[in-house]
Structure 1
Amino acid sequence: MLYMPLKIFLFLIGFWLLSTSQLYSQSLSLSAKGKTENETKIIDSLYYIKNFEDFASLEKEVIDIKEKLLKLGYIESGLLSIEKKNDSSYIASYHLNHYYKTIKIYFGPSINRNILKLVSNTVKENYFETDFNTLEKTLQLLNSEISNQGDPFSTLQLSNIKKENEGTLYAELQITEQPQRTIDTIIIKGYDKFPKSYVKRYLKIRNKQLFNLKTIKEKMSDLEDLQFASQIKEPEVLFTKDSTLLYIYVEKTKSNAFDGFLGFGTNTETNKIEFDGYLNLNLVNNLNYGESFRLLYKSDESQQKTFDVKAKLPYLLGSPIGVELSLNIFKKDSSFVTVSQSGKLDYIISPKNSVSAGILSTTSTNLLDNNILSINDYKSSFYTLNYLHTKRQRYNLLFPINFQFDITTGFGNRTFDDIKESQNSLAINSFKIFNLNDSNSIFTQITSGYLKSDTYLENELLRFGGINSIRGFEENSLTANLFGVINTEYRYKVSNNLYIHSVIDAAYYENELFDKKGKLFGFGFGFGLLTKAGLFKLNYSSGKTENQSFKISDSKIHISLIAKF
């Protein structure tokens, strides 16, 4: 009965004795001194540790102070003594001797002088100068740069170190070199069917290329701009006796997209609700060649129908050139139908930039029984030139593209009634997201088009308006030979999968055929919700002309869903 209370009592006594011993134990202190007051100030500037739990830690700090003085430039400094002042304090005495601020390093003809300019502002014919206190970092940087030149096993050392004059040292740089390394084999892990042409052309990593791990890592970061793949981890290298194996770790990402919207509004003539919408299917890299295929079908309340198909194959047959083919059919109620075909050759300058050149051929047919002067059969052909710049923000699921600039210009001719006219065209589509902070951003977009001709036909004019143009107006209900649209949104991200935004749009257009010009405005609000099915968006907007007031009855509600798979 007494055994358990006795055991607890002994445990409490032991715990009390241990606590008491720790309470009354004293820490050790260190004071470092120089031979002069100035030397002591220099030692104090090292901010050394002064309090220790045991003598071994104190002794280690005494040695560390000596090492710091050496790296600072006092290479002749020395520890004179460690004296015990009392039971808990010690004094370490040092003599600093001469201070060497600069070291002059002589090098041989095998050293690339351009590399030396990275570490020194004074590079002469056979030597360079550097501050002694940065000598270690200088040698590390030199070794890293030499490794990047294809010699990862090179070593550097200084020899024949001498005193040249007061404050300056002399040394000779010796390099132990190995044969330069080149990439012999590239092995892809994670996504084994990653297109080989993208390794060679997009990332610009090739066999027999001089090995440079720093450059390889920089190139791999370009995968962030690729739609269908991402980097899992940084590349790794395996060196064997006579070969260099580069391992690249990538994974395939969801890049197919299905986009559609449903819009409805009240017809001012019939006072009935009318619906419009479209389907947009984008397939990317399903054949593991980096190819893309787009199919769009649109039908709106103005009895307009659009069918558009586009196929793109980059790096054709492993070359830096890609090809893009497209077909567009537009039908305006029973007025006319226009068929456009184009073929382009595409060259990817870098992951963010590409240019293309091609031919656009268009045929339009008048479907009306009676002849209307503004609508006529015609054929046209254009030579086009395009430049595209895209900057992505991969880790933002709601807004994956931060900036895009797309410009296309063309020149050619149009023929109708045996009359041939020269024409020029210009189209610009650019947008930018200004991220104010994690929750707030401003979206701005500029869309413009211009067709220059001596005369115009109604069925060749540029069409705009709707959810992808100026909001609050019917889809493609506006025609012009010149127009410009500015879309703005203030976006507030409620969470990582929900945001709300404003709608403020403005446009200017000119229609020389009907001698019309004017300003248009659109206002409204909307939200976007990222669901398991995709990105669901809803916009409510109302449009007006320059001399017209807003009418709620003319407002448009647009609903869309973008699903990735």
Structure 2
Amino acid sequence: MKKTAFLVLIICILFSSKVFSQNLRLKIIGNNEVETKQIDSLNYLEVHNDYKSITSEVDSIQTLLYKTGYIENKMTGIIKKDDSTFAAKFHLKKKYKTIHIYYNSSIIDTPVLKLISEDVFDDYFSLPFSHVENSLNFINLKTSEKGNPFSKLKLSNIHIVENNLRADLIIDSNKQKRTIDNIIIKGYEKFPKSYLKHYLKIKENQAFNLNVIKEKTNLLNDLKFANQIKPPEVLFTKDSTTLYIYTEKAKSNSFDGFLGFGTNEETNKLEFDGFLNLNLTNNLNFGESFSLLYKSDENDQKTFRTNLTLPYLFKSPIGIDLGLQIFKKDSTFTIVNQSAKLHYQINSKHKIYSGITATTSNNLLSSSNLQNIADYNSNFFSFAYQYLKLQPNNLLFPVKSSVFLETSFGNREVTTTKEKQSLHSINAFKIINLNNKNSFYFSANGSHLISNTYLENELFRFGGINSIRGFEENSLFASLFGVLNTEYRYQLNNSIYIHSITDLAYFENKITNIKEKLFGYGFGFGILTKAGLFKFNYANGKIKNQAFKFSDSKIHLSLVANF
């Protein structure tokens, strides 16, 4: 019996608050039926746990009535109707739908007011009363963006004139605007200062605007060699403003290589080809980049290419790109290409180029009946545009879209004969993300050489893993070509993906009068390992109207290592 009574006592203690608690009800009415309907439209909370919650709800409703234009409303009190019901009565009086706000035109710019009001005059502007709070916050934001981060704004002298509501706009701000007096880099102290001024476009003596600064520092994540650790911070003193930017140095060097093999149709033997590609970025803390490529393929072709980019020379917005490329076709000919270009970084995504390119080619055949190979020299003036958009949170595909357009005009000289030529090229790709796992990849690249006559040793060479897959590296010669690469990609996780291969190409060779359509089909996968990104591609290439052969298939392996 004692145990039963003790158990009942425990249950009562634990659940007494729920058993004996009573919900209180609130009813708010107006001075008449119309006012009551207006109050009911506010959807106030009717059921409460205690009296304190009721008074808080009544205060909230009265504040809401003020904001909607019932600035003269009065609450007569809260009356207890019975043990669980309370009633509050309001007299709403007149609703003011519009307010005329008088301002000082020397402090507030008229274009700012026109963004929030359709009726702006020399000394006042009109607003719907329900928009007053949001509009004043907007004006205060625009004022702070002009270098007054501590500005305060309020309406004063609110009064009624001829049934119209009027008020004076008062702005309390320092006469001396805040500017960035000092910039301190934390984490990566050797971060190249030129990138602050020309890439992020943040510099000393600039009007202080924290929101704009946050947007600009987010661009640090678009750099290959640096990342933002956390949002910027500001130290305000009486007479100075110090901006702290937090960043870290990222791994930006890469080593890329691939191995390809296939069966030679003539010898029926297995042949190998491959290349090595080294990219070094910001090793001198200048933002510079250096690349070196060496390629050798089964067609006894060798390519050596090196490029050097120096951004923001002498702290100016102008940079320089220097390039050297040497190509050798077995014992037939060599081509040496040298280029020098100036570039201007418009912003984090857009860049323009202008420069010169000089090419020298030598015929290595001492005696030959080939009339289409000859020694020549050419000089071109070139103009180019680059667009680059990153998705830094994706380790497998850090670049979302890219466009590079270039056009060149110049002359080619063979012995004493000069001929005008023009060269146009495009290299672009885009990733369309359907969701976190599925995406489509589209790539388009091509070139067109316009000339009255053509030499074999000046034609474009394409084909292979970085062009149309399923064909030997640089096995196709063309005066005009275009390649479209498409892939459907499926990410199994953050480090593994599989994809399809569907490549289309068209090319023309003015020397042999060939016009062909090419197709490449296959599949592949990529694995992000500790050593880098390993890629495997299996593709079969064929010419239109040609029978499909498994023996024409190519396997391409590559590894991109970042360090």
For the superposition of Structure 1 and Structure 2, which TM-score range results when normalised by the shorter chain? over 0.9
Partner of 1:383: 381
Q: Provide runs of 4+ in structure 1 moved above 4 Å.
A: 5-12
Aligned mates of 1:224, 1:95 — CA distance in 2: 57
| Alpha-carbon distance in structure 2 between the residues aligned to 1:253 and 1:36 | 70
* Distance apart, 1:546 and its partner CA: 1.3
Paired position in structure 1 for 2:509: 511
Is the CA contact (8 Å cut-off) linking 2:470 and 2:554 kept in structure 1?
yes
Report the Cα distance in structure 2 between the residues aligned to 1:120 and 1:285, rounded to whole angstroms.
50
Percentage of pairs with the same residue: 56
1 CA distance for matches of 2:497 and 2:526?
5
Confirm or deny that 1:212 pairs with 2:209. yes
Once the two structures are superposed, the pairs formed by residues 42-57 of structure 1 within 5 Å of their partners are: 42-57=38-53
Aligned to 2:168: 172
Using the TM superposition, give the Cα deviation of residue 172 of structure 1 relative to its aligned residue in structure 2, in angstroms: 0.8
Matched, 1:407 2:380: no
- Note the alpha carbon deviations across 1:219-239, whole angstroms, 9 max, x for none: 222223221112222212111
1:260 is matched with: 257
For residue 34 of structure 1, the aligned residue among 17, 30, 33 is: 30
Cα RMSD, aligned residues only? 1.5
- Greater shift, 298-307 or 168-177, is seen at 168-177
Distance in 2, matches of 1:248 and 1:32, equals 53
- Please state whether the residue corresponding to 2:492 is helix, strand or coil: strand
Q: CA deviation at 1:133?
A: 1.2
Which residue of structure 1 aligns with residue 16 of structure 2? 20
CA contact (8 A) 2:345 2:352 kept: yes
Q: Would you say 1:102 and 2:131 are equivalent positions?
A: no
Distance of 1:391 and 1:71 partners within structure 2:
44
Distance in 1 between residues matched to 2:499 and 2:152, nearest whole Å: 58
> Counterpart amino acid of 1:325?
L
Where does structure 2 lack aligned partners over 5 or more consecutive residues? none
- Of 197-206 and 437-446, deviating more is 437-446
Provide the C-alpha distance between the structure 1 equivalents of 2:32 and 2:251, rounded to a whole number of angstroms: 70
Other structure's SS at 2:94 match: coil
Deviations along 1:376-424, one digit per CA (max 9) or x if unpaired, are 1111111111110011111111111111110111111111122111111
Give 1:431 shift: 0.8
Q: Deviations over 1:499-541 (max 9, x none)?
A: 1111111111111111111111111111111111111111110
Instruction: Identify which of 483, 491, 494 aligns with 1:493.
Output: 491
Alignment of 1:25-424 (within 5 A): 25-110=21-106, 111-166=108-163, 168-178=164-174, 179-371=176-368, 372-424=370-422
SS class of match (1:150): coil
Residue aligned with 1:290, SS: coil
How far, CA to CA, are the matches of 1:11 and 1:186 in structure 2?
A: 69
Q: Which consecutive residues of structure 1, in runs of 5 or more, have no partner in the other structure?
A: none
Tell me, in whole angstroms, the C-alpha distance in 1 between the residues paired with 2:17 and 2:202.
65
8 A contact 2:357–2:379 mirrored in 1: yes
Aligned length: 560
TM-score, scaled to structure 1: 0.97
Give the whole-Å Cα distance in 1 for the aligned partners of 2:345 and 2:299. 39
Q: CA deviation at 1:318?
A: 0.5
3-state SS, counterpart of residue 214 of structure 2: helix
Cα distance, 1:11 vs structure 2? 7.4
Give the match for residue 536 of structure 2. Answer: 538
Inter-partner Cα distance in structure 2 for 1:401 and 1:424:
30
- 1:21 shift after superposition: 4.5
CA distance in 1, matches of 2:205, 2:486: 49
Q: CA deviation at 1:547?
A: 2.2
Supply the distance in 1 between the matched residues of 2:340 and 2:216 (Cα, whole angstroms): 31
The aligned residue for residue 431 of structure 1 is 429
- Contact 2:105–2:122 (8 Å) recurs in 1: no
The 2-side partners of 1:555 and 1:325 are apart by: 37
The code of the aligned residue for 1:227 comes to: K
Give the CA deviation at 1:470.
0.7
Find the residue that maps to 2:410 and give its secondary structure: strand
Deviates more, 1:131-140 or 1:266-275: 131-140
Distance, in Å, in 2 between the alignment partners of 1:466 and 1:496 is 27
2 CA distance for matches of 1:18 and 1:328?
84
Q: CA deviation at 1:126?
A: 0.9
For the Cα contact (< 8 Å) 2:25–2:48, is it kept in 1? yes
**Distance change >3 Å, CA 34–CA 521, structure 1 → 2:** same
Shift of 1:342: 0.8
What SS does the aligned partner of 1:201 have?
helix
Name the SS for the 2:273 alignment partner.
strand
Q: Which moved more, 1:242-251 or 1:194-203?
A: 242-251
Find the aligned partners of 2:116 and 2:271 in 1 and give their Cα distance: 71
